[in-house]
Every structure is written in C-alpha cells, then in structure tokens.
Amino acid sequence: MNKSSETIKVIRTNNLGIRPHTSVSITALKGLAATWQWQSIELTTYYSNVNLDGKVEYNACSGKYYVSSVSRHGYYRTQRDIAKKGKVNEQVIGSTLVYQHPTKSAELGINMLYSHYSVPIHPKISRRNNPLRFRGQHHANGSVFYRYLWQNFHFLGEGALSQDGGKAALMGVVASLSRYADVTVLGRYYGQSFHSPYGKAFRENSTSNSNESGVYLGTRISPLHCLCLDAYHDYFYFPWCFGQSRAGHSWLVRASYQPTRTSLIYLQYKTTTKPRGAAKTKEVTVGTRQNYKLLWQYTLGQTISLKSEVQYSSYQQMGVSGWGYAAAQNIAYKVRSFQITGHVVWFHVEGANNVLYTYEPNFPHTGFNFRPHRGIGACYGVLVYYRPTASFRLALKYSLTHHKNQNTMSSVQKTSQGSKKNDIALQATLKF
C-alpha cells in the first residue's frame, strides 16, 4: 500500500488468504496453495514455480553464470526483451499460520517464505544503488504480525527478519475519535539489508521495502454527510543515499463534496520534498514538487456520465524550476448492452521530474491505466463495449497521442519515429 488521498484505510489491508490473480500480467505466483482451518487457527501453505526474465552473463573470474536483475513485467516487444525471456527459474515455498480471536477483535500470525533462483543474482555495483541489496541464489525471511481492536482504537503491526540479518518493523493505530473525525499514526523501519521480494508494505521508496524509516500521520474530518476533509503528513529518512540529502517529507490536503451518489467534486493539493538526482548533473539534492488537482464528476440522466479534470504541477531543484498542466475530459454513454467511452487530454509539461498522470479507460482485468504526460501535445481515445449475453463481452480500444515539436516518441524499450502514435486493442471475454 502507499500514500494516496485515502488517508486512513491506506495503512492496512485485510488478511484475505488465498486469492486468484485475475490480471493478464504475469507478475503473480504460479503453483499450488491450500488452507487448513481448526477452530480459530488457520494454516496456509503455498508453492510456486515460475520462469522470470533476465540477461544471463558469464563471470570469467569465478567461472559461473549470473544475472544482474530479474524482471516480472512480461513485455516482449524487442529482440532484447525476447532474449531475456524465461532465463531464470524461481521457486517459492511459504506458509502463514494465523490465530484469530472468536470475537474477531484480535489476530496473531506468523509468515515464513523461502525463494530459490536457478541463476545467482548479483546486482551491478553503482554509487547510486544501495550496496546492501540482495545478492545470491536463495533467500528466506519470516515475520510476526498482529491486529487488535479495543473500543475505537485499531492497533496493528509486523516485525520481520531476512536471511542475512536485515530487520524491518512497522506499528500503527487507527482511531475513531468521533462520528466526524478519524486519525491514524504509522511508524515504519526497513533496514538497508532487509529483503522482501514480494513485500508491499507502506513506503515512500518505489523499488523495495528496504533502506527507509518514517512516521505517517493522517486524518479525515466529515463535518457534513456530503463534505469530507482529508490530510496527511509523512516524514521519511533514507539511511543510505548517494549525496548529502537523506531526509524528506510530503503532505496532502483534499476537500471533497459529494451531494449525490453519482456526483463528486474535489480540490487537492500535494507537495513532496525529497532527495532526487538532478536531470543534468545527476547530483543528488533535495527537490520539491507541488501538485494541484481539481476534479468534477457528474451524470446526466441514466445513460450519460462525465468527468472533468484539471492538474497543475511545479518542480524546483538546484535553482532550476519547471511546470506543467493537463486538462482531461471523459464522457461515457451506456444503453442496454452497449457502452462507449471517449476521452481527451491536453497537456504541456516541462522537465523530467514534472510528469503528470491522467486516468485512461481500460479493459477489465488489465489493471488501472494511468498515462504519463511529457512535453506538449494531446491524447484522444475511445473504448467500446458490447455485451450481447451475460457470458460474452467484446471490447475495442483506440487511442491517438500527438506531440508538438517532436520528431520521435520513445520509452525505455522502444522508439517510434514521428510525432503521432496510434494504439489499438481488442479483447473478447467468455465466462463459463
């Protein structure tokens, strides 16, 4: 979980046990899982065997093969991607033992996980990367977690230990002070040498649950049934960081007004100050980014729904500043078994650290699609659904991106010539 405008529920998730992975991506475990239950005790065990992608290299000094990293994205768009496909086999075995109080007011559990790779992982040495990142051919970690509900206070936490002695812990509480106000506090610590390949705990670090500590404070105030005020402040610190700056903070304020179930308007402000690499010098110094967002969502009758959105962002670092804006409009028309959704986005964004994101309608089971915007241009798209029966659905998606004053459009793995890009996709779904 991570920070968002949902300031209270974001710090914890419910223990749901085994659940199928319904996305078309291949980032999940693949294997067998089973759960046994004896009264208030539940035991879940699982085994996974999956091939990951990586570039296998040879070390002439040791006479052994290795990979510097593995990927789970599942994209095979270039010859380089195809050459890495399925080169590293990963086997995972784990277990979770949970005791739950008969009144559901308390929970205590233990997690154990062991991973083995067919080829050792040895990350390349870099001044910018944590030198204590995981390296080797097998890995194990374990944790103890708890949850306790007392009156209007919900306590939760977890402590973990990885194979090489790395430690991690988090403790939090969610409190309902009255029918109008809720607050939450969460403290976290993830050691430099702590490794959790599948951990997705609360964090600022975008890559892993390691090399970070911090304190999060969040609140929600609802003076009226249709008015809600959300705010949070998060202070974080990176024990190892290339450069002199290691600490940072972020805070958010959002006011939401929802007069009916089908209409919503909110205004949001967010600022983040943290160590970043400068675009030109690559020197790590403190950069500050500010974001403003206004959204208006409403319906016209029972067939037409609209969503209007405006964003503005500014970024400052080492005396260099950048800014950007984006305006988006979505409209959806639905009648019986037919639905069509159109969207358009205009944007003007300066600087690599000032990227803006807007939501783009997407197929089911493919995850949320937040499109990044850089430079000057516009995006147009349409998504058509047709569902003649309850068990069959056909969907067609088309989008066009046009950049002004730009001759090429590129990403990490591919580059296309010209200032326009067309995307088309078709999905047929049959349920049985």
Q: For residue 382, is it within any domain?
A: yes
Number of residues that make up the chain: 432
C-alpha neighbours within 13 Å on the C-beta side of residue 141: 22
Q: For residue 268, is it within any domain?
A: no
Q: For residue 373, is it within any domain?
A: yes
Q: What is the span of the domain harbouring residue 414?
A: 288-294+306-432
Question: Within a 10 A sphere around the Cβ of 259, how many other Cβ atoms?
Answer: 12
Q: For residue 365, is it within any domain?
A: yes
C-alpha neighbours within 13 Å on the C-beta side of residue 7: 29
pLDDT at 346: 96
Q: For residue 214, is it within any domain?
A: no
Q: For residue 72, is it within any domain?
A: no
User: pLDDT 10s per residue in the chain (432 long)?
Assistant: 567 777 877 777 777 788 887 665 656 788 999 999 999 999 999 999 999 888 888 887 878 888 988 887 777 878 888 888 889 999 999 999 999 999 889 999 999 999 999 999 888 876 667 777 888 899 999 999 999 999 999 999 999 999 988 999 999 999 999 989 999 999 999 998 898 888 888 888 877 888 899 999 999 999 988 999 999 999 999 888 766 678 899 999 999 999 988 899 999 999 999 887 766 666 778 889 999 999 999 998 889 999 999 999 999 888 788 899 999 999 999 998 999 999 999 999 987 778 899 988 888 766 667 888 888 999 999 999 999 998 999 999 999 999 887 776 665 556 667 788 888 999 999 988
Task: State pTM to two decimals.
Answer: 0.86
Q: What is the dihedral of CA 282, 284, 290, 296, to 10 degrees?
A: 60
Residues 191, 106 contacting (CB under 8 angstroms): no
- Structure tokens that stand for 373 in this block: 């915007």
Q: Provide the domain count of the chain.
A: 1
Q: For residue 204, is it within any domain?
A: no
C-alpha neighbours within 13 Å on the C-beta side of residue 318: 13
DSSP-assigned beta bridge partners for residue 257: 227, 265
Task: Tell me the torsion sign for CA atoms 361, 363, 369, 375.
Answer: negative
Q: For residue 210, is it within any domain?
A: no
